[in-house]
Structure 1
Amino acid sequence: MVENVHWFVGIDWATQSHRVCLLNAEGGRLGEREFAHGGADLVELRDWLLEKTKAAPAQIAVAIEMPHGPVVEMLLECGFLVFAINPKQLDRFRDRFTVAGAKDDSRDALVLGDSLRTDPKAFRQLALDDPAVIRLREWSRLLDELQQERTRLSNRLRQQLWRYYPQAAELTDDVADDWFLSLWQKVPTPAAAAKASEKTIARILKEHRIRRVDAATVLQTLRKTALFVAPGTTEAACVHIRSLVARMRLVNQQIKQADAALDGLCDSLAAQGEENSSGQSYEQRDVAILRSWPGIGRIVLATLLTEAAQPLRARDYHALRALAGAAPVTRQSGKQRFVIRRFACNKRLQTAVHHWSRVAVQHDSAARHRYDALRQRGHGRARALRGVGDRLLSALCAALKNRTLYDANHRSAQAVSSQ
C-alpha cells in the first residue's frame, strides 16, 4: 500500500486552519506548518510539500482523520496518496507519544504521519468518487433530511389537531399527505366541516386520486362531536397549522424532486461504461445488478452506491459488513467470551441494509428461510434481520464479482439461507 512512499504527512484538520507535519521514511521530522482554510492556502500547502520533498505526489502519503472535504479532494486531485483513520484509533496511537493524555494540534499531526509510516494497515486509502456518485450521495442525504423534517412537521401538525380537531387526524395515518393538507385548508375547523358540502370534499379526493375513503365518510368523521375548547384556542391552532402546511407542501415537493434526481442519477450510472484491468467493458453494471436484488429500491440502492462506494468497488465483503454494522464484535478475555452487535458503523448504511433485509424476507424465499432459521434458534427480530443482511451482503459481493444478476436458484443466492 505504501511500498513506494518515501514521505509521510500528518494533517490535523480544523475549521479555520490545518496543522501539517512532514516526516521522512525514517520518521524524522522535516517540517511543520499551519495553513489557513482557503483556496490559495491549500495551493500553498501542496506547493510546500512538493518543494520540501522534491518528490512526485505519488511518493507522498498523507494521513488525515476526515475522509472527505476540500483538503482531501485537493490532495487526491493532485495525485497524493491520502489515507484516513478513525478518530478512536488515532486516540490509541496518541498514547505512544504521551501517557499523560496531553493533546494539541502539533502532536496530533505528528501522530498521524508517524502512525501511517509504522502501521499503514490501520488506515484506509481514499480515492476520488465518480462525479455522479458525489451528486447521488448529496441527494440521498438530502432526501433523508427532508423525510426527517416531514416527520417532525407531521408530529407538530398532529399535536395541533389534538388541541381542537382530533377527528380530522382519524382520516389518515399520514397527516402530511397533500390531499389531507388540501382538505384541512378547505375545512380547517369543526364549524367549517358542518357547513361543507359533500361535493366539495369529493372534488378534493378526486383531484388527489384518493379512493380508500369517500366524501360521505370524510364528512361523517369531521362532523363528530367537537371538543370544548377555550375561546381563541381554535384560532391560535389554525394560525400555527397554516404555517406548518406551507412548509409541508414545500417539503413534499422537494421530496418528489429528490426521488426523481435519485432515479436519474442511478440511470446515468447504469449507462456509464466501466472497464476492468484488461480494458474490456463489463456486460452488466453494478446498478443493474443491485436493482435485480429483491428488497433494493430507490433509497437502498442510492445508499449502497454512495455510503459504501469503495467496499462495493473492491467487492470487499468484510469491509462492507463491518461498515453496515452486520459484522458482530467478539470480546474475549480468559474464560469469558461475549459476542455483541456492532455499534461503530455507518448509520445510514446500517438502516438501508436493515430495510433491505426486511423487504427481502417478505419477497424472497431464501431470505425468509434464513430469517425463520434464526428465529427458531431464539434470536429476536432485529438480530435475525442482521443475520439476513449479512448473508445478503455476502451473496451480493459474489454476484458483483461474477457480474451476474440476482438468481434465486443460483448458489450465491441460496447461500443466504444456508447455515
Structure 2
Amino acid sequence: MTDQRHCYAGVDWASESHHVFLTDGDGRKIGERVFRHGGEGLAEMAAWLMATSGAIEGDEIQVAIEVPHGPVVETLMERGFKVHAINPKQMDRFRDRFTLAGAKDDSRDAEVMASALRTDPRCFRLLAVADPVVIELREWSRIAEDLSAERNRLTNRMREQLWRYFPALLELENDLGAEWLLDLWETVPTPDKVARIREATIAKLLKRHRIRRFDAARVLDILRQPPLKVAAGTTESASAHVTTLIARIRLVNRQLKQAHHRLDGLTASLVAAAETEPGQKKQHDVEILASLPGVGRIVLATLLAEAFDALQRRDYAALRSLTGVAPVTKRSGKSCIVVRRQACHDRLANAMYHWARVAVQRDLRSRLKYAALRSRGHSHGRALRSVADRLLAVACAMLKTGTTFDPSLAAQKSAC
C-alpha cells in the first residue's frame, strides 16, 4: 500500500535542464515541468514541487533520481525533500513497465522514477546529508588519485625519452619521478656530461637526498656504460623533451604531497572530533579501520570517502557489493556459473585490491588464505578478492564492537 499523504516526484537530470514529473499517492499525475540548470532554476523547481503538491513540509514529497550527488540532490535535500537514488540499470528495467519497444525520453524516465518509487521503494536508497569533512575528504582523495595517474603518465613519457638515448639512467631507480633522480638528470642530462662530472658532485647530491643504497662510485659506474650510438640531434631533442617533462613532474610531486598532507589532516580531524562528540561513531571508525593490516593513507581515505554510508550502517552486504568482492551467481536449471561482480564502485574495487595485496604481505591469516586459494587453482585476482571479502567481514565486526585490530589475537587463532 502507498502512503496517501505523500507525493512522488521523478527527476530526470541533465547538464542544461531537468525534467520533473509529479504524482500523488495513487499514481495520478499532478504536474510536469522542465527547469533550467542553475541557482534560479533549481530554486524554482523546489518551489514548484511545494506549490503544485500542496505539501506543507518538504519531507511530504519523495523524490527519485538516478545520480546520488550533485547540485540537484543538494538543493532538494537542503529544502527538506526526501531524495532517493536508484541504479541506472534498475531504472532501465522499470522502464519496461511503460514501453516494450525500448522507447526512451526525458518525460517517460521522470514518470518511471516517480512510479517506481511509489510502488517499489525498497529498490531505492534514501540519501542523507553528508558530513562536510567527508565531502572534502572525498574530493581530496579523488584529487590524489588523479595526480598519481598524471604522475605515472609523465614518468612513462620520461622513460621513453631516456630509453632513446640514455638507458643507463633507468637502472638507478624504478620511480623516475623521485626527486633525487630528477636532480641527477639535471646534473648529468647526457652521457657526455657524465664523462666530465666529478665523483664528489654525485656524492654531494646523494647525501642531500639521503640515498644510501649505493655510493657515488657505483652511480658513475652505471652511468658511464658505453652509450648508445644515436643519430645527430637525437640527444638534444630527447633531452629537451625531458626538460619539459621534469618541470611538470616536479609540479605534480608538490601537488601530490599537498594532497597527501590534506588527507592526513582530514582523517585526523575525524578522530579529534570524537573527543567533543563521542556519540558520533564515524570518528572512532577511522582508528578502527586504520588499525587493520594493509590499510594505509589512500585505502583509508577511499573507504571513508566512497563507502561512508555503508560503514556507518555496518552493512557488510552493501560493502561487498560496492567494492566488487561479492561474486555473482547465475543459476538456471542444471547450469550454475559464478562470475566476478562488474557492477561496483571502481575506486573502492581498486582500494580493496591494494588492501588485500598488502595484507597478504603483512598479515599471517590473509597470507594463509591467499596461499590456500592459489593451491586450489584460483587466479591471483580471485584469491585477492576472497582475502578482501574476509577483511571486510573483520572490519564490520570490529566496527560493531568498537575494537581495534589485535595482531597477537589473530596469530593465536592461526596457530589453533
Q: 1:51 to 1:281 in 2, by over 3 A?
A: closer
Partner amino acid, structure 2, of 1:271: A
Matched, 1:384 2:386: no
SS, match of residue 336 in structure 2: strand
Partner of 1:146: 147
SS in structure 2 of the partner of residue 52 of structure 1? helix
Q: Distance in 1 between matches of 2:279 and 2:216?
A: 61
**Do the aligned partners of residues 282 and 301 (structure 1) sit closer, same or farther apart at CA in structure 2, a change above 3 Å counting?**
closer
Q: Which amino acid aligns with 1:86?
A: N
**1:183-217 deviation line (CA, Å, top 9, x unaligned):** 11111111111111111111211111111121111
Aligned residue runs from structure 1 range 352-363, under 5 A: 352-363=351-362
Amino acid at match of 1:150: R
The question of whether the paired residues in 2 share the 8 Å contact of 1:46 and 1:75 is answered with yes
Partner of 1:46: 46
Query: Corresponding residue for 1:81?
Result: 82
Name the residue aligned to 1:133. 134
Matched residue, 2:170: 169
C-alpha distance in 2, partners of 1:9/1:129? 22
Aligned to 2:110: 109
Question: Does structure 2 conserve the Cα–Cα contact (< 8 Å) formed by 1:366 and 1:408?
Answer: no
Aligned to 2:231: 230
Q: Which residue of 2 aligns with 1:395?
A: 394
Closer, same or farther in 2 for the Cα pair 1:165/1:292, shift >3 Å?
Answer: same
AA partner of residue 221 (structure 2): Q
Distance 1:84 1:294, change over 3 A: same
> Does the alignment pair 1:351 with 2:350?
yes
CA distance in 1, matches of 2:191, 2:243: 16
Aligned to 1:341: 340
Residue identity in the other structure for 2:48: W
Equivalent-residue separation in structure 1 for 2:116 and 2:138 (angstroms): 30
Q: Return the letter of the residue paired with 1:110.
A: E
Name the amino acid aligned to 2:322.
L
Aligned CA distance change for structure 1 residues 218 and 7 (closer, same or farther; 3 Å) = same
Where does residue 97 of structure 2 map in the other structure? 96
Q: Which runs of 4+ in 1 moved over 6 A?
A: none
Residues 83 and 124 in structure 1, CA contact (< 8 A), matched pair in contact too? yes
Distance (whole Å) between structure 1 residues aligned to residue 59 and residue 338 of structure 2 = 41
Task: Give the match's secondary structure for 1:229.
Answer: coil
CA shift digits 1:25-58 (9 cap, x unpaired): 1111111111111011111111111111121111
Shift of the alpha carbon at 1:81? 0.8
- Counterpart CA distance in 2 for 1:406 and 1:148 is 31
Instruction: Number of aligned residue pairs: give it.
Output: 413
Partner SS, residue 128 of structure 1: coil
On the 8 A contact 1:362/1:368 being kept in 2, the answer is yes
TM-aligned CA distance change 1:351 to 1:167, over 3 Å: same
State, as a whole percentage, how many aligned pairs show the same letter: 56
Deviation at 1:355, TM superposition (A): 1.2
Structure 1 counterpart of 2:242: 241
Q: CA deviation at 1:124?
A: 1.3
1:2-33 deviations in Å (ceiling 9; x for gaps): 86861111011000111011111111111111
Contact between 1:274 and 1:282, CA under 8 Å: does it hold in 2? no
Equivalent runs, 1:19-38 vs 2, <5 Å? 19-38=19-38
CA contact (8 A) 1:284 1:404 kept: no
Structure 1 residue 410: deviation in Å? 5.7
Residue 195 of structure 1 aligns with an amino acid whose one-letter code is R
CA contact 1:4–1:59 (8 Å) conserved in 2: no
- Assess, with a 3 A threshold, how the Cα gap between structure 1 residues 4 and 74 changes in structure 2: closer, same or farther: farther
Q: Residue type matched to 1:21 in 2?
A: F
Deviates more, 1:376-385 or 1:287-296: 376-385
After superposition, the Cα gap between the structure-2 partners of 1:341 and 1:275, relative to the gap in structure 1 and judged at 3 Å, is farther
Amino acid corresponding to residue 54 of structure 1 in structure 2: G
**TM-score between the two structures when normalised by the length of structure 2:** 0.95
Measure the CA separation in 2 of the matches of 1:22 and 1:302: 38
Q: How does 1:6-21 map to 2 (within 5 A)?
A: 6-21=6-21
- Between the aligned partners of 2:23 and 2:106, the Cα distance in structure 1 is 16
Q: Show the 5 A alignment for 1:212-361.
A: 212-273=213-274, 280=279, 285-361=284-360
Deviations 1:318-342 (A, max 9, x none): 0000000010001011111101110
**What residue is the counterpart of 2:185 in the other structure?**
184
- Whether the 8 Å contact between 2:281 and 2:312 is mirrored in structure 1 is no
Q: 1:228 to 1:409 in 2, by over 3 A?
A: closer
Amino acid corresponding to residue 65 of structure 1 in structure 2: E
Amino acid at match of 1:309: F
Gaps of 5+ in 1: none
Letter in 2 for 1:315: R
Report the CA distance between 1:152 and its aligned residue. Answer: 0.5
Contact 1:274 1:285 in 2 (8 A): no
Paired with 1:4 and 1:106, the residues of 2 have a C-alpha distance of: 24
CA distance in 2: counterparts of 1:5 and 1:363, whole angstroms:
56
Shift of 1:378: 2.3
Structure 1 residue 359 displacement after superposition: 1.4
Instruction: Name the SS of the counterpart of 1:330 in structure 2.
Output: strand
Change (3 A) 1:126 1:355: same
